[in-house]
Amino acid sequence: MKETILKLDNVTKVYPNGTVANRDINMEFEKGEIHSIVGENGAGKSTLMKIIFGIEAPSSGTVTYKGKEVHFNGSMDAIEAGIGMVHQHFMLIPSFSVVDNIILGSEPKSGIFIDRKEAVRRTQELSDKYHFELDVIAKVSTLSVAKRQKVEILKTLYRNAELIILDEPTSVLTPQETEKLFEQLRQFKEQGHTILFISHKLEEVKKISDRISVIRNGVSKGTYKNEELTMEQLTNLIIGRDLEKDFDQFKTHEDFHDEKVLKVEDLYMERNGKPVLNHMSFAVKKGEILGVAGVEGNGQQELVKCLTGLEKTAYEGKITVCDKDALEMNVKQRRELGMAYIPEDRMGDGIAASLPISDNIISTYYDREDINGKFFMNQKAINKVADDLIDTFTVKTQDNKTAVGSLSGGNVQKVVVAREYNTIPDLMIAEQPTHGIDIGSAELVHHKLLELRNQGAGILLVSADLNEVLDLSDRIIVMFDGQIAGYFPDASKTNDQELGLYMLGARHQSEEEIGGALNA
């Protein structure tokens, strides 16, 4: 039996707003292992790491580090104890040199001064020891992302961290850089460091880990030895299909003659010199739901921004909405073509939190003739629209003058969906439409989307929730690394396991097969 360095017993974290991020998590970490923690976005990985690193305190349960129960009061305590963390968003000061960034907070001194010579010497020594090849007196702002990450890792090593937490470290790296990082991690392991590797990229996890712990919906689904798990089993543990729902009974099948409401051809966009959308082509037909599955961060957000007209970076390709070339159009013009949009960030992009429901529920068509009078807004008409929608969408509120921000997440989403539904769209772009809302509200949203579909609207459903995609869609595309990795012309003939393999990049269809997404 190896030595246990960190132990979590029944760790539960409930946030003040009632969100349960972690529930009764039990995990053990052995000294000198690379231990991955995997789970979908929002599964509770980050919260757990914050608890270990002392940023958050657990609501109940205990953390035992090196055999002693610890109650970290801020990350300083965790650092002191020998825990280091490399944050997903770097905690660096660009205008400082590498040395200054590394020694910040525990500077070597001679008298009252910073001993720069000693600082440079120690930093260079560390950098050489681990073959980081860093110019330690260079300013951080001149370094590449991969090098900045090395600076972050050096920071933890400089403080003699024995347990290093890496939060999604590969998300900013190229495959080659990732490979190098892995080599280094193995080196750390040999020197007795314990690595906690957080990721949702499963092939990487399989490659680097000794053991793997799975979290789903804030609950621990066990710790496994890497070699005991196949990719399929791991996928199952992470995604875990809870209950089968049959939405087929709600689907009608009218013939809309394969009319296309959205055609995307050869869409291409780069960010920081890396393609984030890599020549994507697909179409959405009238009266169908095209599901876009994929692990978050594979280009879905960029795709939606390009389609809705929100993207500021230049992108190439062809976007046709209801037979009109929409590429050069702004959001408003695209909406006028018949597009509606349910944004992922509902509080940020979906609503104006401090304004009443009535204002929010008309905000995308405030200039419609019946609402917008000659000089003033027609309050009577607005109230009627709002009250009707509050009724049909069963929004739980006192009246239509309540500030939207004071509603629960599910009810906020109902307001957003009601507004978009009420524009009677030809094309609905629904981005994570039920993310983080209660089951009842989610069900209503699903039914309303199906209603739109049955009335002849084409719906692009972008979701990281595989159940949702499988349940609602007629056709499915899977995105991986900015590309369509797989196309499934009949959603009922595939399953989560098959999709999972495409989502994780383990499989990739031929160009011919994928071409069906556009030409079907």
Please identify, using beta-carbon distances, which residue of 76 and 331 lies nearer to another protein.
76
Site for another protein contains 79 (CB under 8 A): yes
What does the per-residue mask of binding to another protein show for 124-153, with x meaning CB under 8 A?
Answer: -----------------x------------
Please identify, using beta-carbon distances, which residue of 55 and 506 lies nearer to another protein.
55
Q: How far is CA 28 from CA 67, 247, 341, in A?
A: 11, 41, 44
Please identify, using beta-carbon distances, which residue of 104 and 355 lies nearer to another protein.
104
What's the Rg (C-alpha) of the chain?
25
Site for another protein contains 191 (CB under 8 A): no
d(CA 428, CA 419): 12
Site for another protein contains 91 (CB under 8 A): yes
Please identify, using beta-carbon distances, which residue of 114 and 381 lies nearer to another protein.
114
d(CA 290, CA 474): 6
Please identify, using beta-carbon distances, which residue of 105 and 436 lies nearer to another protein.
105
Site for another protein contains 76 (CB under 8 A): yes
d(CA 357, CA 422): 14
Whole-number minimum distance, CB 22 to another protein, in Å?
A: 21
d(CA 437, CA 342): 14
Tokens of 39: 């789970």
Backbone angles phi, psi at 36, to 5 degrees: -95, 145
Q: Residue 23: beta bridge partners? A: 219
d(CA 374, CA 202): 58
Whole-number minimum distance, CB 114 to another protein, in Å?
A: 6
Selected binder of another protein within 16, 17, 18, 112 (CB under 8 A):
112
Residues that bind another protein (rule: CB under 8 A) add up to a total of 25
Residues 6 or more apart from 144 whose CB is under 8 A from it? none
Binding to another protein (CB under 8 A): which residues in 151-180?
155
Whole-number minimum distance, CB 172 to another protein, in Å?
A: 17
Say if CB 331 and CB 385 are below 8 A apart: no
- Window contacting another protein (CB under 8 A); options: 5-13, 65-73, 74-82, 214-222: 74-82
Selected binder of another protein within 14, 114, 327, 520 (CB under 8 A):
114
Selected binder of another protein within 24, 30, 33, 107 (CB under 8 A):
107
Please identify, using beta-carbon distances, which residue of 100 and 344 lies nearer to another protein.
100
d(CA 97, CA 134): 11
Site for another protein contains 311 (CB under 8 A): no
Site for another protein contains 85 (CB under 8 A): yes
Whole-number minimum distance, CB 84 to another protein, in Å?
A: 10
Whole-number minimum distance, CB 273 to another protein, in Å?
A: 14
* CA–centroid distance for 157 within its chain: 29
- Window contacting another protein (CB under 8 A); options: 110-118, 120-128, 415-423, 447-455: 110-118
Please identify, using beta-carbon distances, which residue of 169 and 338 lies nearer to another protein.
169
- What does the DSSP assignment read for 44-91? SHHHHHHHHTTSS--SEEEEEETTEEE---SHHHHHHHTEEEE-SS--
- Can you say whether the dihedral through the CA atoms of 167, 172, 175, 177 is positive or negative? negative
Residues 6 or more apart from 12 whose CB is under 8 A from it? 20, 22, 23, 24, 25, 58, 59, 60, 61
d(CA 179, CA 504): 17
Selected binder of another protein within 81, 104, 377, 506 (CB under 8 A):
104
Selected binder of another protein within 16, 67, 113, 133 (CB under 8 A):
113
Residues 6 or more apart from 285 whose CB is under 8 A from it? 256, 258, 259, 260, 261, 458, 520
Whole-number minimum distance, CB 215 to another protein, in Å?
A: 23
Binding site residues, another protein, CB under 8 A = 74-76, 79-80, 85, 87, 91-96, 100-101, 104-107, 109, 112-114, 141, 155
